[in-house]
Amino acid sequence: MSAKWPSVTQVLSVYSDFSKIDPRTLEAAAARGTEVHKVCAAIAKGLFPVVPEAIQGYVVSFRRWFENVEEVLLVEKRLEDLTFMYHGTPDVVLRLRGDSAPRLIDLKTPATLGKLWAAQVAAYERLFYVHTGLNSQHSGTLRLRPDGRPPIFDESRHKESDFSGFLCALGAYRHFVMED
């Protein structure tokens, strides 16, 4: 039953260690990330959201990059993989000007590249493929900047090994974390 299947985020969160970060800092970063995602998703859907002052720079950074988008194919839609029995919600799948294939983009607000992000993107790419039959290319993370400067795009280049890593994490999650 898909309601009991783990999400990409749940599977990979086991391997994230935030123990050295002050809980208040972590809580503020999570709230900021949630708000940035909400506003950027609305923009990708063609809406005109109210942008809270605290995240203005991140949104300006996103808008600068989003000017290059030719077509939006999917925005924050929950997808399931019936074969591997997991689900996830990719941030956005789109086509940039000049791209022949879609690109899956995961929005990020941290300044440094996360070790698990490539596996996350690979798992989302699989979900997108299962849902649409389309392969995405040049997918990756887009690190939005708090000062409004152009974001940093980190392309995920090792799809097969990154997805293999995700599947290993998924197996371990089922074995050690999930209840029967």
**What are the Cα distances from residue 121, in Å, to 75, 82, 103?**
14, 18, 10
Q: What is the dihedral of CA 69, 71, 75, 79, to 10 degrees?
A: -130
Q: What is the mean pLDDT of residues 128-153?
A: 97
Domain ranges of the chain: 2-176
How do residues 31-69 score in pLDDT, each as one tens digit? 999 999 999 999 999 999 999 999 999 999 999 999 999
What pLDDT score was predicted for residue 180? 66
Indicate the average pLDDT of the chain: 96
Report the CATH fold assignment for 2-176. Answer: Lambda Exonuclease; Chain A (3.90.320)
Give the number of other CB atoms < 10 A from CB of residue 48: 7
DSSP structural state of residue 7: B
Q: Residue 106 pLDDT more than 80?
A: yes
Q: What is the mean pLDDT of residues 147-153?
A: 98
With cut-offs at 50, 70 and 90, classify the pLDDT of residue 19.
confident
Beta strands in the chain (DSSP E): 69-75, 79-81, 86-88, 92-96, 103-108, 140-143, 152-155
Q: What is the mean pLDDT of residues 151-180?
A: 94
Please spell the DSSP secondary structure of 132-156, one letter per residue: HSPPP-S-EEEE--TTSPPPEEEE-
Here the tokens at position 28 are 């503020």
What pLDDT score was predicted for residue 2? 72
What pLDDT score was predicted for residue 94? 98
Q: What is the mean pLDDT of residues 115-130?
A: 97
Q: Residue 1 pLDDT more than 70?
A: no
CB 58 within 8 A of CB 145: yes
What pLDDT score was predicted for residue 69? 98
- Give the HSE-up count for residue 22: Cα atoms under 13 Å, Cβ half-sphere: 3
